[in-house]
Structures are given as C-alpha cells and as structure tokens.
Amino acid sequence: MLEFLISNNIVCHAVEAMLFASLSCSILGVIVTQFNVSSIGFTMAHAAFAGAAIGMFAGINSTLAAIAASVLVALLIGPVGEYSKMSTDSILGVFFGMTMAIAIFFIAYMQYLGMGMSATALLFGDVVSLYREEIYALAGISVISIIFVYLFYKEISALIFNRKIAEASGIPVKPLYYGILFIIALAVALSLNIIGGLLLFVWLVTPAAAAYQFCHSLKSMFIVAPAIAGTVSVIGALAGLAWSLPVAPLTAIMITSVFVVSMILSPKRKISYRKPY
Amino acid sequence: MSSHQKPVISLKNIYTAYEGAEYPVIRDVSLDIFPGEFVIIGGPNGAGKTTILETINGLLKITHGEAEVLGMNVSSKGNNIRKRVGYVIQNFAFDPMTPFNVGEIVLMGRYGLIGPLKKTGEKDINRALEAMKVLKIENLKDMPIGKLSGGQQQKALIAQSIAKDPEILLLDEPFSNLDLLTREFVSEMLGEMARKGCTIIIVSHAFDALPDFDIRIVAMNEGRISLDETCSPDEVENKIRSISGEIQNA
C-alpha cells in the first residue's frame, strides 16, 4: 500500500503493519483507558497469545486461533463476572493468569517435544516475516475500529462518562459493551504477530494515556492517541530496521517516552498564579 | 389524583432483589402514580427509596409482581421506558481530568432518545441549551465537568435529565449538593414541570424548599410502603419526621 513511498518491500511491509496495528490498538485504547478497564487489553493480549500457542501446537493457523481465543475470552468476561459476583478487574485477573498459564504450558511442551516453537515472535513481535494478508487484515481492523467509533461515538462517550447514567438514558449498554470487547479482541489477535503478546499492552494504553495529558475532550483523544501511536510506530519501524534493532520493543520504549514527556508538559496539572484583576 | 386517569406508573405486589442478596429489598409494594403528580419518597436509610426508583426505570430485576410504566412492561421494555424517563442519580464523583464538558454531558441526556447510528441534530443541541438555560448553567457549557463544584455538577445532571423532555422524572437526593436558594429554584422548576404534566418523583431528606401545591408523600420502611398520602408542602416535613420517629421507636 505504501510502496510508492518506501521502495524496499520488507521495510514497507513493516511500516504498514506497525502503522495499522498502532491505529486500531490506540483508537480502542482510548475506550479501554477511559472506561478504566486497562486490564482488558492485558487479558486479551494474553488470550490471543494462548490461542496462537494452541494453534501452533495443533498445526492450525495461529492468527485464526488467536482470534478465536481472544473473542472467546471477550464473550466470557461479562457472563463470568455476573455469575461469580466479582468485579471486572478480578475476573480479568483470573483470565489473565489462566491464558498465560495455557500459553506457557504449550510453548514449554512443544519445546520438550522438539517441535521448534517460534515463541519469540508471539512474545515480542516480528515485523519482518509478515504475509500480505496479515497487513490487509490489520488495515481492515483499523478501518473497522474507526467506523465503529464514528458510528457509536455518542453511545461510547456516554458509557465512558458513567455506565449507570448511560443505561438510565436508554442506551443499550450491554450489546455496546460486548461490541467493544469483540473489536478489541480482533485488533489484539491480529496485532499479536507484529507487536507481541507482552508488548501489546503498550499500544493499548500508553498512546491514550499520553493523549489524556493534553486533551480536554474525548473527541480529541480519539484523534491525538492514534496520531501519537501511528507517528511513533512508523518512526520506530524505520529506525529499528535501519539500525537492526528489535522494532516492537524499540517502539514501545519510544511510545512510553512520549507519555513521560507529555505527563511532564501536561497543561492539566498546571496551577495558574494569575490574579483576576 | 383523579381516579379516571390512567396511571403512568403502576406497581402491583412488586418484589425487587439485588443480585446475590438473600432477601428482596422491595417487598410487596403496590403503587399507582398519575401524570403530573409530585411525589416525595421518604424514609430511613436502607428503606428501599433508591431501589424503588431503579425498579421503576427497569435498572433492577423484579422478581415478583407486575410493573408497568408509561403503559410498558418494565421487565421486558426497560430500555424503551428509560428513553422517556429521566433519572438523576444520587452518588456521583467525576474525575477532575475527565474529558467531558458540561455541554456534552447535558446533550447525553438525549442519546437514548436519538437512538444508535443517528447523529445529534440541531433540535437536540437546542434542547440541551434550553435545559442548561433553565438550570442557569449555560455559562458553564464549555467547562470540564470534573472541575465544577458538587452543586454545579448536580445541576448539570438535572439539566441532562430534563434535556430529554421526560414524561417521568426520577430524582435521587437532587438537593444534597445545593444551597438553599438553589434548592428553592430547582424545586420551583420541578414544580413547573409537574404543572405541565411531567410526573416528578423525588427521594429526598430536604423539605425546606418545596413547590407551592399539594405533594404526595410515599414513606418507605424495610422495603414496604408505610405511608402514602397527599398533603400541603408545609406538612411534608412533619409527616416524614413523624413516620421516621415511629419507625425508630418501633
């Protein structure tokens, strides 16, 4: 897609993948952080990680297995939370531990069997060995995320503001909540190979957290967060490939640095010493 | 209220339970409320006052009995009811950095009415502006909600509820953060809404500012209605106090 800008195919694919993964994750990250359920991103990332590991073990497409696992966890979070009478955060903790254990179990077992498991890509991401279809899928989920937020912006904003008030206004809160979880699950599963299960959380939380330092409206957060994530991810991919550095970890460090700077410069914490007269 | 009118709220032998609770909070409550009535729900803490509000707008599960609001079954049509019923919640605490301004919050009151996949129109924006003007907070339109005082936030939430032009307005402790003058002003505004046909149901412990017409008192105790009568605004406090005293001495 960006061949007209970057002639080297490998670099071009890496930049495209990082750009699209960062767009979808950071847009959905605004919802995740503002809804105070950052653990959702963490849990989904590890569910996808476990799914991919099972997929590799069973000899089926690891991306499809990752999608299936994260969607399954997304569908289970609500009912299990309601049934067990526990907070969403506690349920997410349970799922996180379980999925992590499943992933590690299969990776360790495959190594024991000498199956030559390439777990590093799942953990830390791999932007070099990508299929074109994976990039198209990432572009697709980015477009879906943008359209979803555009179409349901008013419902999402009410849900973020106060779930009870949103429900009392007549907004169908439950279907919307599951819709959000479903799209997060898809975005996380598709980004797993590029960013890695351990680093996905950075893309889901940090750009939105950085945008929050400057933005006074939710609308602007939906623009600033993907702008930060997209710009830093493209620079990270180019720099990583130019200097043979691991792209996803390098970009994660860069995004975190942006957050630290934005936190220091945030106008929201400044106290005005001006006198009114 | 006139018996030939159809009630806007009709509860028949209702039991409402919170998830996980051993016993229902609301027990065998029957209540008919008519259009334009101004109802104050009183009673001691834990009597079921908030629960009855959340039963009326379908936020809580009814385990027994039948409930109809605006001619719709509460258990099956809760979402449709909530589009036409305003609800001002009791406990709210907004993060000072929350990325919403007052104008957005008030407009949110119309979101359920507008429905999914439709954008807010000029009519919605104008209605939100009118609601802010009624509450005298139009000058706070662009202020982040988290930076406002408790009273200003309360007024924003009341404006949010009236922006949807509710047929029934439920208010849970709406005066708790307001000073006396504002209480009088908000109370008069609610009275005006009742005169125009909107049913007002308030859970409150503040009776020093009530509109100047007959008020129906529904006192609750241990999930049951212990008093249901109509009186003048001057009598409300004494009636609620006497029933609360009786409950404490019992």
Q: Please report, for chain A, the start and end positions of each structural domain, with discontinuous segments joined by +.
A: 9-265
Contact A169 B144 (CB under 8 A): no
Contact A172 B116 (CB under 8 A): yes
Interface test with A, best of B53, B104, B124 (most A CBs within 10 A): B104
Predicted pLDDT of residue B8? 96
Scan residues 171-210 of A and list those with Cβ closer than 8 Å to B. 171-172
Render A203-261 in DSSP notation, one character per residue.
HHHHHHHHHHTT-SSHHHHHHHHHHHHHHHHHHHHHHHHHTT--HHHHHHHHHHHHHHH
Q: What is the pLDDT of residues A226-261, one digit of tens each?
A: 999 999 999 999 999 999 999 999 999 999 999 999
Predicted pLDDT of residue A276? 64
For the ranges A3-7, B6-10, B58-62, B237-241, the lowest mean pLDDT is seen at A3-7
Q: Cα(A1)–Cα(A136) distance, rounded to whole angstroms?
A: 9
CATH of A9-265, one of 3.40.50.970, 1.10.3470.10, 1.25.40.20, 1.10.357.10: 1.10.3470.10
**Is residue A117's pLDDT more than 60?**
no
B19–chain A Cβ distance below 8 A for any pair: yes
Minimum CA–CA partner of A34 in chain B: B98
Average pLDDT of the segment spanning B77-85: 94
Q: Cα(B135)–Cα(A147) distance, rounded to whole angstroms?
A: 36
Q: What is the pLDDT of residues B100-155, one digit of tens each?
A: 999 999 999 999 999 888 999 999 999 999 999 999 999 999 999 988 999 999 99
Predicted pLDDT of residue B244? 67
**Is residue B237's pLDDT more than 80?**
yes
**Is residue B250's pLDDT more than 70?**
no
Q: Cα(A63)–Cα(A186) distance, rounded to whole angstroms?
A: 10
Pick the residue with more confidence: A88 or A10?
Answer: A10
**Is residue A39's pLDDT more than 70?**
yes
Contact A168 B120 (CB under 8 A): no
Predicted pLDDT of residue A225? 97
Q: Cα(A203)–Cα(A238) distance, rounded to whole angstroms?
A: 17
Contact A168 B57 (CB under 8 A): yes
Predicted pLDDT of residue A149? 96
What does the DSSP 8-state code read for residue A267? G
- Identify the band that residue A4 occupies on the pLDDT scale cut at 50, 70 and 90: confident
**Is residue B194's pLDDT more than 90?**
yes
**Is residue B1's pLDDT more than 60?**
no
Predicted pLDDT of residue B236? 85
Q: Cα(B115)–Cα(A160) distance, rounded to whole angstroms?
A: 17
Q: Which residues of A touch B120 (CB under 8 A)?
A: 154
Average pLDDT of the segment spanning A140-155: 96
Mean pLDDT of chain A: 88
Q: Is A219 exposed, middle or buried (0-12, 13-18, 19+ CB in 10 A)?
A: middle
State the count of interchain CB pairs (< 8 A) between A and B. 79
Q: Cα(A229)–Cα(A268) distance, rounded to whole angstroms?
A: 21
Predicted pLDDT of residue B133? 95
- Identify the band that residue B4 occupies on the pLDDT scale cut at 50, 70 and 90: low
The percent of residues above 70 in pLDDT, for chain A, comes to 95
Q: What is the pLDDT of residues A188-230, one digit of tens each?
A: 889 888 888 778 889 999 999 999 998 888 999 999 999 999 9
